[in-house]
Amino acid sequence: MVNAVTAIMEYPMPLVDDLLTELNNYLWFCSLDATSGFWGIMMTMCARKTSAFVCALRYFEWFRMPLGLKNAPMIYQRMIDNALWGFVQPKDSLKKQPNINDYSTMTQISP
């Protein structure tokens, strides 16, 4: 019901095919473990009220962003992009280096 009345957020999402094509050029790369990543994002008061539900037990509100909300992937991607700003180039989800020795010389990219 919530997804039916939610306007779609426009935010650029990386395409898997593009990421896989880029990875073909590198031997070494690193990634982040994002297990339970959505649970790290707090819901606003308005979002809590909008996504609340009632069951036989009582009325419940989400305090953390649940899976399944229409805009959850875009919100999560935006949060990751903001958290990693300055460490990776925009539109990159992985920091890639052609040689493992290049990791020791990586420097922070100024925002």
Ordered by start, the domain boundaries in the chain are 11-31+38-105
The two beta strands, 95-97 and 53-54, are unpaired
Residues ≥6 apart with Cβ < 8 Å to 48: 61, 62, 63
Percent of the chain whose pLDDT exceeds 70: 75
Span 18-76, pLDDT tens digits:
878 877 777 776 677 778 888 889 999 999 999 999 999 999 999 999 988 999 999 99
Separation CA 106–CA 3 (nearest Å): 42
Residues ≥6 apart with Cβ < 8 Å to 74: 9, 10, 11, 13
